[in-house]
Structure 1
Amino acid sequence: MRLTKLGHACVRLEAGDRVLVIDPGTLSDPDALRGATAVLITHEHEDHLDRDRLAAARAANPALTVHTHAALAATLGPGTVVVAPGDTFTAAGFTVRAVGGTHAEIIDGLPGCPNLGYLVDGVYHPGDSLVVPGEPVDTLLLPASGPWLKLREAIELVRAIRPARAFPIHDANLSEIGLENFDGWLEEETCTSYARLPLGEPVEL
């Protein structure tokens, strides 16, 4: 299986001709959905969902399947597949389990919207949450920045999950100095293989 980071929180998983894209948002590569077989969306925020590009991709490929939680699915039109926390399903031939259910809090209960994390054949994308799935994780896609996230929480998430490897995502708002600072802490304070993925360059898992 190949993993490619396509900007901010968007990643692409490929095996043969099967292509699964997670969270193609407005901060992602404009071509993130090219050739996609299926799409997983964690939640409604635009940095995880570019509605215009998704609509264009579905118009170009009516066979493209889109999976997300019920509240968001209701706004994305017919054919959107509704999934709930605990569901196990197949998308682009990959086995997926949905976990979590709620966006991490910023303050005063906000934003308060649903959020699903996805465990895809050992690769875990938590969306905007700090949920620890109840099964082993080979590859953690680790949120690195956000108004809902502290550096300590990112470190604790890695320690709690204990993945074989971790790659940072959700980092478009960090400067080069911020990226280096985050990477340094994760390399020093966790016991997992940690590396930053070059954008658009696939890695074999």
Structure 2
Amino acid sequence: MSFKVGVPVGLLILVTGLVACHSGTPKEEPQQAVTSAALQAPYNQVFYDSLGTAMASYYRLSDALVQADSVVANRVATDLKLHVDSLPVGLLQMDSTHLANISGITGSISAELAGFEGETGLDGKRAAFQMVSDMLFDLVKNTGLKGHTIYHQYCPMAFDDKGAYWLSDKPGIQNPYFGHKMLTCGETRDSLTYK
């Protein structure tokens, strides 16, 4: 392909991608559309305090990826791994099968975070972040997070239009998969509010 043909084709692809991201739904859904009724979080408050600390680290990791800051992302991923590893799952009063599932989820999150720093580029770090996001959402859905609302957000263009989810503590979109290239690309697909 010659340079004269390649540049317009490249610009056309870029414009099409930007339009696709911003054309579907509004950047922020109306609050009543995404907020469900408050769910029960019936387990020990010590567990929820620990999970809340882990989620705060997760949100800092998301922010580091929005900023495309690999150094901060590595440091925060290490911090998040420590918090996940120290979750007091033994305090959860549930049947052994359910408890084994929770332990499996936390072990998988920890393993994914262990490999995070070894990823050399932001694309690899963002792929690991996607896995962590999906597993953390499963964890919160299974245990709850007393006193918190979790926004389940989605970018349709992440990973070559395969799409990817992440979690946020606020309804506004700050896309960790594209950062400032497409900061507000995405939508809130669901929210979990726990009392």
Q: Shared fold (TM-score greater than 0.5)? A: no
Structure with the larger RCO, 1 or 2 (CA within 8 Å, 6+ apart): 2
Higher helix proportion (structure 1 or 2): 2
TM-score normalised by structure 1 residue count? 0.28
